[in-house]
Amino acid sequence: MRLSHRLGQAQPRCPVRQLGQSADAHRLRSVGAGGQAVVHCPRIGYRRGVSCHTVVGGAPPGTTIRDRDSWTGSAGDHVDRMMKSANAPGIPAWLVYGILYFSSAYLGLQLATVEGIISPVWFAAGFALAGVLLHGYRVLPGIWLGGMGALLLHGLHPVGSAAIAFGEMLEALIGALLISRIAATHKLLVNTRNFLYLLLFGVLIAPLFSAAIGIGTLYLTQQLNGDQIAGSLATWWVGDATGVILIAPLILAWRTQPRCDLSARRGEIVALVLTTLLVCYLVFGNLLPPRFYDYPISYLPLAVMAWTVLRFRHRATTAILLLVAGSAFSGTYLGYGPFVQGNPTDTFVVLQLYVVSFSATALTVKAILSERQQAMNRLALAARVITHSPDGIIVTDPQGIILSANPAFFRNTGFTRQETIGSSIRKLTSVHHSADFFTSIWKQLRSTGHWEGEIWNRNSNGEILPQWLNINAIREASGKVTHYLGLYSDISRQKQVQERIHRLAYYDALTGLPNRQLFTDRLNQALKYSGRHNSRLALFFLDLDRFKNINDTLGHSIGDTVLQMTAERLTKCVRQTDTLARLGGDEFTIIIQDVNEDFDAILVAEKVVNAFREPLLVEDHELYVTPSIGISLYPDDGSDSEELIKHADTAMYRAKELGGNGFQFFAADMSDPIRWNLTVENALRRAVEQGTIQVVYQPQFDLRSGNIIGLEALARWHYKGPEETPPEVFIKVAEDTGLIHRLGDQILETACRQTMRWIKEGITGLKVSINISPLQLKQGDFTERLRRIVENSGVAPHQIELEITEGSLMENAGIMEGLLNLLSVQGFQIAIDDFGTGYSSLSYLKRLSIDRIKIDKSFIRETPHNHNDTAICRAIISMAHSLKLKVIAEGVETEEQMEFLRQERCDEVQGYIYSQAVGPKEVSEMIRQGYWNVRSEENGD
């Protein structure tokens, strides 16, 4: 409804206006292949200027809708093209909506009938509201300019045109503000409550502002007299409301709703369009005789509208609404149809009410149907999720009778639907749990409505399997429990992995006995028990005499078998309440509780010694193995585990000193076993001072390419004559006497200087691994000394790898974690040496900054023939790779071992199959002559 003024004479015309967008101004750019559309909407900053993103149809934010229902006619295509241009580069939205507003306002002015100045339908109001809702306040200047231009073109005074155009702009702004505060733009048509907000604020309330300002302006400019104000105000208001309800939903539907592929329904689309045109022509055309208008033929379009609402989406619904409304207005304007009255004002009032009520009803029903469809889609999705869930899901009544279950439940348990539905949940329970356990579950469910935990249920075969069960109570609004929902997850595999990790962490892989970590824990627990009960405890330290000779002469395979048989014999000598453990190598310990007299410990010691009187039959060898046993007693020989271990170890060395094959109790006058051998200590001290400790290098190779990737620096010492002193001997002496710090620094300096020499010779891309003693790590200035040594040599820290034994990781775990992280930050590579043989650090391994895990040669020795070693190697490789760590295997001596490691995707190897440890000159020569290929630093090959 708007006015037109020509030469002082009031003539029929229409007012203009439009509303704005609310919180979501949608920029539309692209659509996914499936027709799913997405809306990106910077939120207009009416209050705080915040921004949001609205996603429709599942596509990523930032995409826009270019699609349309494929059946659409020219009106829909035109609107879509015009809306797209609002986002086209270089064409501002305010200009597009200004043109739309001007065009629709000019058309509305041509329909003005009431008193010659007020139009019964104002499509421009719908464009204005949709524009601000979609693009924000930036389109308001275009609305004002478009409205003012149309009014000026129809002859209204500039001041009046400006005021009325301002009212139209205010209508759009207020409507958008009110709607955006409580509803999202893309949900205005698909949510009943949101659509009612659109009707209330956009259709009913916002037009009042434009009508009041417009009528007031006309009255003040003497275009209306006082008697005309009420009727004109009502006509203006209803005209704007009609334009909003016809145009705003149309634009919103085409800009915010996803496309529906209707290519398979083209016949129905054509039929719908033709039927709509025929019905509109019958009702609003000049086809029927006047007597037919006495019948309620105006309800005929309802059938077409019902067809559209039930069968098509919002795009089609709004387009058909506009077609019917346009036919009604054009036919009535020409004097046809059931709404033509003697008075033009009465004619258009009836027509307005018909169009508004017709459109509001159709769009409300469509919103209700959309909500129901969304609910059905959610239910269907939930059903699919339940059906395809890998976890078992069951529903029971409050008494525990199974009412429903998903396929995964039947698949995991083996029960059939006939066996399960209608049965009690007790059908699944096992004797693994006591009655109190299930009583506590029901008690918690009744109090909190939720229970979660591990449970052991049985399957159809009677097997008891571990599961993780999550039970939730389903309640009515009153709080009454109607059902219980249970989610079962099969954790059998997790249990197996946990057990495997537990075995690796706490048990010796070779013998199956507790390892050092579990032994330490058991000893501490036993000491607490003895302290509480005022009882005595005996600790045995056992070492096999001359076991090294067996390893050196018959090989490690025979040695491992001897250790396994030793463990079996020792197991028969102790009670179930005692603890037998292997600390490593040929060292075993026994914890015996409740020792009343020394004689009790003597009986066990004699039993152990006697157990080895018979030879061990290993393959074709008859081997006589004898033990040396040291015994310390609690509380006689110490009050804590460290003291007892030290004294038992001292007593064991005394037993060896006396010839072995016997036992010794600790005595206060016994010398420390290392100081007892002062000659070795003095000779080693001189060697360190004179720098006669040699450093040799054993190469490490990439298993895939065969290239040499690094070298391990190894210390060698000739104590007497040309024969080498085993490193485990002189290194232990160095650690016990404090020489390890100077010796370690010498080895570091030698290895770093040699690395720099190789670089100057053109041999690059190699890292040198250096073993670091736990005692070195404990020294406060170790990192500073290490940094100084590396800087003085000129090598980069990343070319040096520090090998740290697994056992040292668990000593002062917090300090070790910080130290390793510091070394890693400084650029050093970190490797865990002898993995799996001693202390296991799996519990916090993932927190450490390490680069490589080194599989101990004891696991490689019998691989792949020994199933236990094979399984351990697989587990270590798999675990390391899952933590993104490199794996290197040491002690590789055969093609079978190398092939097994290659199949298991071990990264690197080291062993005699490639080379034993050689001097630096030999390393240079082997590389120079091409026997060892150095990987390229650029590609890492």
Of 570 and 76, the structure prediction assigns the larger pLDDT to 570
CA–CA separation, 698 and 878 (whole Å): 26
User: Using a CB cutoff of 8 Å and minimum separation of 24, what contacts does 567-572 make?
Assistant: 567/511, 567/512, 567/513, 569/611, 569/612, 570/542, 570/608, 570/611, 572/611
pLDDT band of residue 64 (cuts 50, 70, 90) is very low
Residue type, 818: G
> Residues 1, 118: contact at Cβ < 8 Å?
yes
Q: What is the mean pLDDT of residues 50-74?
A: 36
From residue 689, alpha-carbon distances to 736, 739, 743, 750, 931 in Å are: 17, 10, 9, 14, 37
Residue 894 confidence (pLDDT): 92
Distance CA 452, CA 848 (A): 32
pLDDT exceeds cutoff 60 at 78: no
Q: Are 456 and 430 in contact (CB under 8 A)?
A: yes
CA–CA distance from 932 to each of 657, 765, 800, 923 (Å)?
A: 47, 13, 20, 9
Contact 571, 607 (CB under 8 A): no
The architecture that CATH gives domain 389-490 is: 2-Layer Sandwich (3.30)
Q: Write the secondary structure of 686-754 as one string of H (helix), E (strand) and C (coil).
A: HHHHHCCCEEEEEEEEECCCCCEEEEEEEEEECCCCCCCECHHHHHHHHHHHCCHHHHHHHHHHHHHHH
Q: Beta partners for 838?
A: none
> What distance in Å separates the CA atoms of residue 146 and residue 107, rounded to the nearest whole number?
12
Give SS3 for 123.
helix
| pLDDT tier at 4, thresholds 50, 70, 90 | very low
User: Range with the lowest mean pLDDT among 269-283, 520-534, 554-568?
Assistant: 269-283
Please state the length of the chain: 941
Question: Which pLDDT score is estimated for 936?
Answer: 55
Phi then psi dihedrals of residue 302, to 5 deg: -60, -35
The predicted structure's pLDDT at residue 573: 94
For 796-841, the pLDDT digits (tens) are: 999 999 998 877 776 666 778 888 889 999 999 999 887 866 555 5
Strand-strand pairing, 464-475 and 450-458:
antiparallel
| pLDDT at position 12 over 70 | no
Backbone φ/ψ region at 197: left (φ over 0), alpha (ψ -120 to 50), beta? alpha
Q: H/E element holding 616?
A: strand 616-618
Instruction: Give one word for 448, left, alpha or beta, with left for phi > 0 and alpha for psi -120 to 50.
Output: alpha
- The owner of tokens 């599961």 is 467
Mean pLDDT of 17-39: 33
Q: In this structure, how many other beta carbons lie within 10 angstroms of the beta carbon of residue 300?
A: 17
CA dihedral 558→564→568→571, nearest 10 degrees, is 140
Q: Are 263 and 221 in contact (CB under 8 A)?
A: no
Please tell me the distance from the alpha carbon of residue 467 to that of residue 490, in angstroms, as a whole number. 5
Give the DSSP letter of residue 669. T
User: What angle in degrees, to the nearest 10, is found between the helix axes of 140-153 and 93-110?
Assistant: 30
First to last CA, the chain: 80
Looking at the DSSP assignment, which residues form a beta bridge with residue 778?
Answer: none
Report CA-CA distances (Å) from 294 to 331, 333, 477: 17, 19, 52
Q: Which residues pair with 474 in a beta bridge?
A: 483
Give the tens place of pLDDT for each residue, 839-889.
555 656 777 888 999 998 888 988 998 898 899 899 999 988 988 899 999
Percent with pLDDT over 90 in the chain: 30
Residues sharing a CB contact under 8 Å with residue 736, sequence separation 6 or more, in sequence order: 672, 674
723: tokens are: 């024969």
Class at the top of the CATH hierarchy for domain 505-673: alpha beta
**Structure-block tokens of residue 697:** 């290098």
Q: Where are the domains of the chain?
A: 4-366, 389-490, 505-673, 694-928
CB 588 within 8 A of CB 570: yes
User: pLDDT tens-digit profile of 450-463?
Assistant: 999 888 888 888 88
Q: Within 10 A of 886 (CB to CB), how many other CB atoms are there?
A: 18
Q: What would be the CATH architecture of the domain defined by 694-928?
A: Alpha-Beta Barrel (3.20)
Highest average pLDDT, of 146-150, 157-161, 661-665, 724-728, comes from 661-665
How many angstroms separate the CA atoms of 238 and 211, rounded? Answer: 9
Residue reference for tokens 């209330």: 200
What are the backbone angles phi and psi of residue 19, rounded to the nearest 5°? -115, 165
Are 908 and 709 within 8 A, CB to CB? yes
How far apart are alpha carbons 100 and 128 in whole angstroms? 9
Which of 78-87, 409-418, 731-740 comes out lowest in average pLDDT? 78-87
* 550 to 600, 611, 628, 727, 778: CA distances (angstroms): 32, 19, 16, 18, 35
Side chain identity at 154, as an amino acid letter? H
Q: Is the dihedral of CA 200, 204, 210, 216 positive or negative?
A: negative
Give the dihedral of Cα atoms 229, 232, 238, 239; nearest 10 deg: -140
d(CA 26, CA 57): 14
Q: How many helices and strands in the chain, by DSSP H and E?
A: 32, 22
Q: What is the 3-state secondary structure (H, E, C) of 444-477?
A: HHHHHCEEEEEEEEECCCCCEEEEEEEEEEEECC
DSSP lists the bridge partners of residue 591 as 539, 579
Q: Which of 310, 308, 122 has the alpha carbon at shortest distance from 210?
A: 122
Task: Give the span between the Cα atoms of 71 and 254, in whole angstroms.
Answer: 13
pLDDT at 514 over 90: yes
Alpha-carbon span 835 to 891, nearest angstrom: 13
Other beta carbons within 10 angstroms of residue 273's beta carbon come to 18
Distance of CA 713 to the CA centre of its chain: 42
Kindly state the average pLDDT of the residues 55-81. 39
Which helix (H) or strand (E) segment is 776 a member of? Answer: helix 774-778
> Dihedral through CA 318, CA 324, CA 328, CA 334, nearest 10?
110
Q: Which residues pair with 587 in a beta bridge?
A: 543, 584
Reduce the DSSP state of residue 62 to 3 states and report it. Answer: coil
Distance CA 73, CA 75 (A): 6
Report the range of poorest mean pLDDT among 246-255, 578-587, 606-615: 246-255
Q: What is the largest CA-CA distance in the chain?
A: 135
Say which residues have a Cβ less than 8 Å from residue 384's Cβ, sequence separation at least 6: none
Mean pLDDT of the chain: 81
CB 57 within 8 A of CB 36: yes
394 touches 404 (CB < 8 A): yes
Residue with the bigger pLDDT between 231 and 655: it is 655
User: How far is residue 496 CA from its own chain's centroid?
Assistant: 24
pLDDT confidence tier of residue 33, bands split at 50, 70 and 90: very low
Taking the mean position of all CA atoms in its chain, how far away is CA 264? 40
CA nearest to 832, candidates 842, 822, 701: 842
Mean pLDDT of 641-647: 93
For residue 313, which amino acid is it?
A: R
